[in-house]
A and B are shown apart, each in its own frame.
Chain A
Amino acid sequence: MRHRRVILFSLFGVVIAVTVGLLLLWALGYSALEGYAYLLEYSLLSRTALFSTLSRAALLVLLGLSASTAFASGALNLGQSGQFLIGAMAATVFGLFVNLPAFLQIPLSLAVAALAGMLYASIAAFFRRRFNMNELIVTLMLNFVADYFTQFLIAGPLFEEGRQSPASPAINASGWFPVYKGFDTGILVALLAFILIYLLWNRSKTGYEWTIMGQNSIFSRIGGCPNEENFTKAMLVSGALAALAGALVIMGGIQHRFMPGIKANYADDGIMIAIVANNKVVATAIYAIMFAIMRTGAMGMELETGVPLEFVHVLTAITVLFVVASREYSQYLIDRFSAFLRARRISSRIEDYAGRDSSGSMD
């Protein structure tokens, strides 16, 4: 029953957000319904549109799961963007210097990227366990380190001679994700990761211990769970997921090289998705797909109706606000209202009683 309620509140939030978006478009003088129609058309209604939405969704699912796995177990990993870049760089380096048959090259390249992301996240886990340093701050700072370090690499050691701007050379073609009729097989990596993470959270001992630790770490400690180990595990899994997203950007798509700006806003979106999804695995995937639809469709909307691309950012912000706020606040309002009704029922019953029995004795 509680689950249904949660879903209901989330839907309510989405509906409100969409309505507010409509009003906003209408107030700005655009044809609102038409805009939405193009948004859907350019994100879902053709094969290319659908596949490019799915490619984007794959990245957002991985980054969203990275954030929600960390947050739900109480590990505040905000280093998705750093781990993403390190993962992308690891895949690039591997793809530049190793050349194996594709059936080995692709999984190995993914494994190397995931490992690099784990290593990068483990720095924060180590500082937390050894010196009790706040992982939130350490991971945030390491984002800058990753950013400048990768920029240095593509401007220096990995710079492709003859280019106008910094970028690495393209990786060996054996490491490219095969594309079937526009469908980037990298998407399957995200699907596989989603299934594994779902099993981890819902079927494994570690997932159970993460759940308890995320809600009350003293309780899990007293219960005998190895909190410190579980914290490290959560950081590592979170780092690996973010790094896989980085690898997907290099190994999929058309460029196949590390260029400035590849991280775009993916990492921040991932954190936002985790927050909207309340760190739940399935909800994270659903919101990731929804965000991907909006981001991809936005270009079509701009093309056809002139609604600026940035409008979608406003729309996602509104969605976040309404979903998160309605989750917390509508529960509160409903509770308050039901308490009020209950109190009124009791008072009126007492009055009836006093009216019938004017002596007023109560027992």
Chain B
Amino acid sequence: MHSDFIQMRSIVKVFQPATVALDGVSVDINQGEIHSVIGENGAGKSTLMKVLYGMVAPDSGEIYFKGQKVNFSSPRDAVKAGIGMIHQELMLIPSYTIWENVVLGAEPANRLGRLESKEARAQVQALVDEYDLGLSIDERVADVSVGARQKVEILKLLYRDIDTLIMDEPTAVLTPQEIRELFRWVSQAKAAGRTIIFISHKLAEVLEISDRITVMRRGKTITTVENKGLDKSFLARAMVGRDVVFSVSKPPQEPGQTILAAENLHYTDADGQKKLDGVSLKVRRGEIVGLAGVEGNGQFELVQALVGLIQPQQGSIKLKGQEIVPLPISKRRELMSYVPQDRKSWGSAQPLSLQENVIMTHHMTNTALQGRLRWMLSRRKTRQLANTIKEEFEVVVPNIDVPFFALSGGNQQRAIVGREFMLDNDLVILDQPTRGLDVASIEYIQERTLQKRADGQGILLISTDLDELFSLSDRILVMYRGQIVADLRPEETSPEEIGEYMLLGAKGGDNE
């Protein structure tokens, strides 16, 4: 085990115009270890690794690899040296088969430049067998699960003979079962002498697999520690800089009348894919209904159908007893609050000011904002509303005229959640409300959500974060291939059970 395998020294990176991503970061990686880099969103973990991988050019600092000073100007150089990276967003061509994706860019060719497909395929198959990855390499990537796609990314790196592997939040999109399998594979790769750098913010996982852990906070390395006798609260404190409450308190509460009742929704998209296959669900007053599922199993279409962005071919949606399927979005938005999953392109207009972003929908539903004439908007009153939302939801900005893009992710989401919660509707749809946020904002938004529940409003919460679903929900529904396959109480189930439903649509795989 070499201790001077990878050394990064005083790395500085400032993104335009003045975001200090890396503020003089130094870290050592030993050969053959599983080294986790943890930190909150925005702490600089991914940037640091992109610098090592040659994707981001540092402003200053040095990198030594096996004792040699290196300066990778592109990922290609890094791969040549044996360093590979798997990104958060997988980079695969959906219409190609698995083996084609694996060899793409490093195809074996004969002297005339013709692809030796038989040979390439055989090589890929050999790797799949050797590492027991359980992939059938002739399937198209579009047809396989997210977990399998991640394995294809791993396979790509094995094929290129990578011995140092950087994985950027690989577990974020996986079910508990898939995470098990990934960890099994990671240990196996370590046993074979490979070095793994694992970027994460999930403390339990990090504690489980790492040899050493580097904690980053606001672009700095706080500490690097051996993973011996550590616990979650120690890491959390190092990561956030203060003590962290791990679970919000959810007082028991009897739900009231039904607010939302969807019956037998069917939706087939323009490509002929059946996205909703007879979905029925109920949300009652004072109840948080969690919706779990591997992404792409119809959750998104369900939300769109509720909001009115798509028209289900069959079924009914009743909101407070009123049928809303024939209603346009504008009418529906008078009755429901909605926090979309993509806050940048769906939830806001980034170049416009905070004020312009937070009065959306209020400008139609809140008649008090009218000016002297009905078609006007009062400047004074809209500014007042924007200031109220800013104060009430602790959006940290100097004033409400700041352009939205200048706000941090956490502040943007507070503003969006603030806007929607201030609409004061009885139904709230939250689609991934805390994804990618800092710990403080996550805590804050979860608390406000529970407050909405205490106020007697009905909440539909879609999340890929099972911890969040377990700590907030009164019931957890699982979607699988356009159907709701489970309706469980969090006290009576486990993440593993939910995971099974997410992956197989049934417990123990007795579906089909």
Contact = CB atoms under 8 A, between A and B. Distances in A.
Interface in A42-81: none
B361 A224 contact: yes
Given A203-B371, A224-B333, A346 B349 contact: no
B90 interface: no
Contacts, number: 122
A205 B12 CA distance: 46
A279 to B, nearest CB: 12
Contacts of A221: 309, 329
A211 B221 CA distance: 43
B18 interface: yes
Interface string B204-231: 0000000000000000011100000000
Given A205-B376, A208-B356, A363-B223, A216 B329 contact: no
Residue in B223, B338, B349 with the greatest tally of chain A CB atoms within 10 Å: B349
A212 B364 contact: no
B379 A224 contact: no
Given A222-B340, A336-B16, A350 B347 contact: no
B349 A205 contact: no
B17 A346 contact: no
B interface secondary structure, majority:
mixed
Interface in B325-373: 328-330, 332-334, 338, 340, 345-352, 356, 359-361, 363-365, 371
Contact of A343 (B59, B330, B359): B59
A211 B356 contact: yes
B349 A343 contact: no
Contacts of B403: 2
B13 interface: yes
Contacts of B24: 346-347, 349-350, 362
Interface string A70-110: 00000000000000000000000000000000000000000
Interface in A189-227: 203-206, 208-209, 211-212, 215-216, 218-226
Interface string A324-337: 00000000101110
A219 B377 contact: no
Contact of A215 (B60, B351, B359): B351
B97 interface: no
A340 interface: yes
A342 B349 contact: no
B14 A346 contact: yes
B279 interface: no
A interface secondary structure, majority:
helix
A314 interface: no
A219 B338 CA distance: 12
Given A2-B403, A223-B360, A343-B59, A208 B223 contact: no
B364 A205 contact: yes
B377 A342 contact: no
B397 to A, nearest CB: 13
A222 B307 contact: yes
A216 B364 contact: no
Interface in A294-345: 332, 334-336, 338-340, 342-344
Contacts of A212: 349, 352, 356, 360
Contact of B12 (A218, A219, A346): A346
A225 B351 CA distance: 18
A359 B332 CA distance: 65
B348 A216 contact: yes
Nearest to B359: A208
A215 B349 contact: yes
A223 B331 CA distance: 11
B12 A347 contact: yes
Given A204-B375, A219-B348, A347-B60, A224 B340 contact: no
Nearest to B398: A1
Nearest to B222: A363
Nearest to B13: A343
A339 B17 contact: yes
Interface in A151-166: none
B17 A334 contact: yes
Given A339-B16, A362-B221, A219 B360 contact: yes
A347 B360 contact: no
A226 B333 CA distance: 12
Contacts of A225: 330, 360, 364
B23 interface: yes
A29 B297 CA distance: 73
A335 B59 CA distance: 15
Contacts of B352: 211-212, 215
B20 interface: yes
Given A205-B363, A208-B377, A216-B349, A226 B330 contact: yes
Contacts of A349: 24
Given A205-B377, A218-B345, A224-B361, A342 B14 contact: yes
A363 B365 CA distance: 54
A336 B364 CA distance: 41
Nearest to A363: B223
A204 B377 contact: yes
Instruction: List 5 tightest A-B contacts by C-beta distance, closest first.
Output: A343-B59, A224-B333, A335-B17, A223-B360, A215-B349
30 contacts: A203-B376, A204-B375, A204-B377, A208-B356, A208-B359, A208-B363, A208-B377, A212-B360, A215-B352, A216-B349, A219-B348, A219-B349, A221-B329, A222-B346, A223-B361, A224-B365, A226-B328, A338-B16, A338-B18, A339-B16, A342-B18, A342-B20, A343-B12, A343-B13, A343-B14, A344-B59, A346-B23, A347-B12, A362-B221, A363-B221
